Amino acid sequence: MTESRPIKHITNLLRSDLPPAASRWVGFPEFNFVGGNNDADSVPLKTLAACAEAVLMREGRNLATYFLASGPMGYLPLREFIAAKLALRASYLCDPADILVTTGSMQALDLVNSAFLEPGDTVIIEEGTYGGAIGKLKSAGVNYIGAPLDEDGIRIDALAGILQDLADKGVQPKFIYTIPTVQNPTGSVMPLARRQELLSLARQYGTAIFEDDCYADLLWEGDRPPTIASLDQEGRVLYTGSFSKSIAPALRVGYLIADWPVMSRILPLKKDAGSGALEQMVLAEFGLDHFTRNVTDLTATLKGKCDAMVAALEEQFGASAEFLVPKGGIFIWITLPDGVDTTRLAQVAISEGVAINPGAEWSANAESGRHRLRLCFGNPDKQTIREGVRKLAEICRRETGIPPRSGNIDH
């Protein structure tokens, strides 16, 4: 291991403001309910392999040039596929020329943050939101304010209060970051009327909306409302999506859509000479028909896993675990009684092979998330889900007395 090398250390030369040091990866825990991992059996291997062969034999020589002879926005056939998919599945008509292919939607978040945010700026996020987004805002030195959620997403009355409060203090929030379709972590879907209200509030207070549709293709309950971006007539909405959840996260392909006056300022910040070419080519070749078939099958599989986790939670935690049954996606956001500290629970659980996301890391206000947790059911099989939830309940009972013995019998 390089730690023991007899060399003079250079760590004293590192920047003083780096984040905490990484730990070595030690493999997945036995019951892995963290992260946005997906169902392994649903990765469409044969089709991806056939697409890779076809596109490489036909256009592989373009790999000799940076940007695949498509320019810095990304491989054009992929941008055309994304535009067709959004038109068909999300009623969102956009020009492939406004779509930037990114290395996962995480890069889209980084680019938008870099283009809009300076230390001390203010943004509005959802009270429960993607922990990765919170982490990025923290390291950007930005103030973030959590807007309360209900079963339909951001509460518009509360958001109006926050915006007015900021206006009274002379603070201009840079954007409202929202995950309106299959929200992370709650799994809710914002109805059309609320999307329209959100947009008109943003207009009234002169702020932007950053719409993150990472899980939007994994909806199994109800119709998919149009994107907020599609309702926007003035270029107020920045939009990001990803193939991580609909095909596979390790591919690292996402996209960012914005009108050119904004995109032309964002593009120079993407300094990596293009996202991975092979993945872009294979996904473009995969195309809309395979995509539609894949997400139909994947969504049915995920719904089955979700049902298994819901049943396991009810059986093991009974009334001690409150949650909305998600309308799609890969997560359940659970509220335990006030006395449970899930940050501590997560530490104990991981030492016994159960990984959970503590709610504090997924909450704008860490304190309000202290007794919440997020479980991902995307990757483990149903048996692992059942066993893992039983083990988590045992650990939680031992550590906190919650849930009382035999959750659903006692309540």
Ligand X SMILES: Cc1ncc(COP(=O)(O)O)c(C=O)c1O
Which residues are bridge partners to 126 per DSSP?
147
For 358, phi and psi rounded to 5 degrees? -70, 140
**Residue 58 Cβ, how far from ligand X at the closest point, in Å?**
27
179 binds ligand X (CB under 6 A): yes
Q: Helix count (H) and strand count (E) of the chain?
A: 12, 15
**Residue 49 Cβ, how far from ligand X at the closest point, in Å?**
22
Q: Which is nearer to ligand X, 257 or 340 (CB)?
A: 257
**Residue 165 Cβ, how far from ligand X at the closest point, in Å?**
26
Rounded Cα gap, residues 326 and 292, in angstroms: 21
3-state SS assignment for residue 239: strand
298: exposed, middle or buried (C-beta count within 10 Å: 0-12, 13-18, 19+)?
Answer: buried
User: Interface residues for ligand X in 88-107 (CB under 6 A)?
Assistant: 104-106
Rounded Cα gap, residues 297 and 63, in angstroms: 32
Rounded Cα gap, residues 298 and 38, in angstroms: 9
227: closest CA among 269, 255, 265?
Answer: 255
242 binds ligand X (CB under 6 A): yes
Q: Which is nearer to ligand X, 43 or 160 (CB)?
A: 43
146: closest CA among 364, 306, 297, 352?
Answer: 364
**Residue 46 Cβ, how far from ligand X at the closest point, in Å?**
23
Q: Which is nearer to ligand X, 207 or 242 (CB)?
A: 242
Rounded Cα gap, residues 178 and 198, in angstroms: 10
Q: Which is nearer to ligand X, 207 or 244 (CB)?
A: 244
Q: Which is nearer to ligand X, 254 or 318 (CB)?
A: 254
**Residue 129 Cβ, how far from ligand X at the closest point, in Å?**
8
Please select the residue that binds ligand X; options are 122, 178, 244, 294, rule is CB under 6 A: 244
- Residue number, nearest CB to ligand X: 104
134 binds ligand X (CB under 6 A): no
**Are the CB atoms for 126 and 154 separated by under 8 Å?**
yes
Joined tokens for residue 353: 């092979």
364 binds ligand X (CB under 6 A): no
Rounded Cα gap, residues 316 and 391, in angstroms: 9
For 222, phi and psi rounded to 5 degrees? 85, 170
Distances from the Cα of 185 to the Cα of 94, 209, 265, 359, angstroms = 28, 19, 31, 9
Please select the residue that binds ligand X; options are 39, 212, 232, 279, rule is CB under 6 A: 212
Q: Which is nearer to ligand X, 99 or 340 (CB)?
A: 99
Q: Which is nearer to ligand X, 248 or 402 (CB)?
A: 248
User: Interface residues for ligand X in 14-53 (CB under 6 A)?
Assistant: 36
Please select the residue that binds ligand X; options are 70, 113, 181, 184, rule is CB under 6 A: 184
330 binds ligand X (CB under 6 A): no
379 binds ligand X (CB under 6 A): no
**Are the CB atoms for 328 and 215 separated by under 8 Å?**
yes
Rounded Cα gap, residues 396 and 313, in angstroms: 12
**Residue 400 Cβ, how far from ligand X at the closest point, in Å?**
28
Size of the site for ligand X (CB under 6 A): 14
User: Interface residues for ligand X in 248-287 (CB under 6 A)?
Assistant: 249, 254
Binding site for ligand X (CB under 6 A): 36, 104-106, 130, 132, 179, 184, 212, 214, 242, 244, 249, 254
